[in-house]
Structure 1
């Protein structure tokens, strides 16, 4: 079974939040075992709790799970209601692109909870704090959560039936073996959506191992709306990955699109291997559900 390398479909974005921003309207989450995955405005968030005490001995074991080291930058957020540590493992990918990976280690009653944020450019401390507080006070609405099994999805206000052949790779990131993969996010503004797909492309372009061998702007029909997308072909022959090797694929075709759909600002990245089941349209079945190539 094939899947697209995780870094190629990483949803990442930076955005500004106010305390009264109703981001719940754009938030989606899925529970997988004892972890919860969230996505909003292109920001990937994960929460997981451990039956550990908030002391030095127990925290060592928890931090080891996330490869957080003693010398990693650490601080405390005094505006949170619980004892905490904040680890910043951000890294500069290129001159104009910074990947932020931030971990909040929280004393959550009798447990230790870790909430991680992954997005690009400058950290958004206001949103991080807002989400952590909403999590701790159990203010995240039940409607945010979707089933971990996929027979259908809600895509920007439209229900799409898929059968039982697909699986979540992350929240709003789904893969259908031999039929393609796509991730998407709902944003507060169209500018945020456009920024997100551009940053996803830059992450792909500068990832070590493979290489982008072609890129161009093309006209597509996305959810019935004519728009411009970025198309790229990524050579994976240099990627040292067991999954890539097992697939037998040599290239990955990727489309990056940002558009307003049914009153929602959507960023979406769609992809397929060169040896997937490609139809006469030039696309595999999953991608055909939301887009077509303009002839």
Structure 2
């Protein structure tokens, strides 16, 4: 009888140890068309991929590091207790444009065959949970993760904290526990305690501070989440630049709540008309409502006022456009003008007067020194005199429009007009004090150009139309077109 009881106890223990759930409740996984798997569990993004190579080949390991942009390797080792050839890499990295975000990463690399390895990667913004990582790896090695993985990308229905929600055909999984419907998006994680869920939501709020986004408003608001009175942290973000396009504010609700015995960290978002727009997208309405709207809430019958960026902070730069430009380049004549000179190295400067955040009017000059000069006829009192171009001086005004194409990358277009003067090497027979002793001729200059720069340094290219012959100092075939290109330093 004693042996029968021991046998039954062994069977029960074995069943509990090898049951399908593996104590990973709250995990969701998706498989893409390449066979790669993404999972989410307790704030972890977990990926499983197959890579060509051998686990003992350093080139294979280096290729994996390059693929995942591994910046700082904290440790690299093998774990002898794992009954499979392995290599483990622990690292940390920063997230581009998010200065307060730090990503903890660990990569488990396993030999799959003579030509392939499998990589199980863990990434989290929170503190690492080594016990959770080891449990996921154990289940992976036992081929138990299939239970949690789906090949379906549409989200006709979702299981949210133990409740099935039917969404229809307009929704799709962006990643595990991250669903998007037209007009709204929701992502969430399940945690073993309220404290860990609350830590996760605070980390996400901090990590979402983005150098390309302004925060228009930030406060707490009473909501009802899954039928439970809750407090949501509401943040309204606005993109700083969009290639001249207006973008609506993104309104995000961060919520932590215990739902049906599960501790949920949830991020819900939709675009609104302005910072006071509290209307919720249909997806958000499935899990949340706002019972009492603030007095300042936007009403659809209000006169529309598009939301601008936040007010300027003390000491903050008021204008996006630069105000000073120093340049060095070369004038390259086109057509007949090449008969006078082949090129003219130049220097110049502009001072800007901003009229809007991205617009300015500039006053500037350029001085160019022709090289490879050729003789041409200069007419004085209708008599021709053979001479060469000595110095070219341009004084002009331009209208400029500047856009931020990417972080620290600026794209500028401009157009302008001015006066251009060509001083010759033909000396006057008589001249007054303070007057130039060299003959010159002037004409109108009309031009347009572009400038693309990274931080303070950029490249410019512009076309100039200069009808030199209108002053009757040179022949009509003297030429009238040139391009000017070079480097500009902006402040």
Q: What TM-score do the two structures reach when normalised by structure 2?
A: 0.49
Matching residue of 1:211: 214
Aligned to 1:181: 185
- For 2:160 and 2:243, how far apart are their aligned partners in 1? 31
d(CA) in 1 for partners of 2:245, 2:271: 9
The residue aligned with 2:90 is 88
Select the structure that is richer in helix. Answer: 1
For residue 200 of structure 1, give the secondary structure of its aligned residue in structure 2: helix
Structure 2 equivalent of residue 167 of structure 1:
172
Where structure 2 has 5 or more consecutive residues not aligned to the other structure, the ranges are 1-20, 293-491
Q: Aligned pair 1:48/2:45, yes or no?
A: no
Number of residue pairs aligned between Structure 1 and Structure 2: 263
Residues 82 and 108 of structure 1 are in contact (CA less than 8 Å); yes or no, is this contact kept in structure 2?
Answer: no
* 2:169 aligned counterpart, secondary structure: coil
Pair 1:222 & 2:225 matched:
yes
Match of 1:283 among 270, 275, 280: 280
Higher relative contact order (CA 8 A, sep 6+): 1
Residue among 104, 126, 133 paired with 1:128: 133
Give the whole-Å Cα distance in 1 for the aligned partners of 2:175 and 2:245. 20
Question: Which whole-Å CA distance do the structure 2 matches of 1:225 and 1:236 have between them?
Answer: 33
- Give the 3 Å change call, closer, same or farther, for CA 271–208 of structure 1 in structure 2: same
Change (3 A) 1:95 1:169: closer
Counterpart for residue 239 of structure 2:
236
Partner of 1:268: 266
Question: Take 1:68 and 1:139, find their aligned partners in 2: how far apart are those partners?
Answer: 28
SS of 2:208's equivalent in the other structure is: helix
Summarize the Cα distance change of 1:186–1:230 in structure 2 as closer, same or farther, 3 Å threshold: same
Residue number in structure 1 paired with 2:198: 194
Of 242, 247, 259, 1:249 maps to 247
- The corresponding residue for 1:12 is none
Q: Where does residue 103 of structure 1 map in the other structure?
A: 107
Structure with greater proportional strand content? 2
Contact 2:126 2:203 (C-alpha < 8 Å) held by counterparts: no
Structure 1 residues 56-83: Cα deviation after superposition (integer angstroms, max 9, x where no partner): 34444444332347x8444114233333
Distance in 1 separating the partners of 2:291 and 2:111: 53
Uncovered stretches (5+) of structure 1, i.e. residues with no partner: 1-20, 239-243
Q: Return the offset for 1:285.
A: 1.1
Deviations 1:257-291 (A, max 9, x none): 01111222111100012369xxx971111111111
Cα offsets for 1:198-244 (capped at 9, x unmatched): 11111012x32213232111100111111111000112224xxxxx7
C-alpha spacing 1:216/1:66, structure 2 compared with 1 (3 Å): same
Kept in 2, the 8 Å contact 1:149–1:167? The answer is yes
1:251–1:25: structure 2 CA closer, same or farther, 3 Å change rule? same
Q: What is the root-mean-square deviation of aligned Cα atoms in Å?
A: 2.9
